Amino acid sequence: MHDDIKTVLLTKEEIDARVQEMGKQIAADYAGKELVVIVLLKGAAWFATDLTRAIDMPLRVDFMVASSYGNGTSTSGSVKVKLDVSEDIKGKDVLVIDDIIDSGVTFASITDMLRHYKPATLKTAALCDKAERRVNGLEADYVGFKIPDEFVVGYGLDYAGDYRNLPFIGILKPAVYARK
């Protein structure tokens, strides 16, 4: 698995440190509020479990399964919800967590859908941000790292379902794409 990585972009230590900072920031911003975090499965699960433990205040956690990508490395442009929220988020302060914001289509579609449930506030957090790739001008409210326009894997991010359990974030060797 590690042999398939060309470059390590973010080490485990860099990720851990930044996630702690993000948690402190979010806890400060939401002090006294009724925070519900919504984790976009599968990719954001790794980031979200670390991030929520770094947010030192009461909060609730919910999950959504939404997919816009097939097995490839670019978006199909349409987001399908396969599992919707189960928490009642009406009047709550909602933070949607994804692993990475790329075109921005996922966050745009999900926040559009969640707005129908009338949360008090609705914000977004992503560990990585490929700002160059945005098609809709959307900015996440909390971003861990701005990264270059490269397809990355690890810490939840997959290629064709693999590499999610790498503890760091890296760029795959081109040979990997040729073989799958």
DSSP state of 15: H
1, two tokens: 């698995």
Q: Residue 11 or 118: which CB sits closer to ligand 5GP?
A: 11
Q: Prior bond to 146 cis, omega within 30?
A: no
CA 77 centroid distance within chain: 17
| Pairing state between β 5-10 and 169-172 | antiparallel
Using CB under 5 A as the binding rule, whether residue 156 contacts Mg ion is answered as no
Q: x/- binding map, residues 1-40, to ligand 5GP, per CB under 6 A?
A: ----------------------------------------
Using CB under 5 A as the binding rule, whether residue 43 contacts Mg ion is answered as yes
DSSP β-bridge partners for residue 54: none
Binding Mg ion (rule: CB under 5 A), the pick from 4, 34, 87, 158 is 158
Catalytic option among 29, 102, 112, 149: 102
For tokens 């957090």, name the residue: 125
Q: What angle do CA 121, 148, 139 make, to 5 degrees?
A: 15
Helix (H) or strand (E) segment spanning residue 101: strand 93-101
129 binds, among ligand 5GP, Mg ion, none (CB under 5 to 8 A by kind): none
For residue 141, indicate whether it is catalytic: no
Distance in Å, CB of 84 to Mg ion, minimum? 16
Known catalytic residues are: 102
Q: Which residues bind ligand 5GP (CB under 6 A)?
A: 43, 68-69, 75, 98-106, 151-153, 157-159
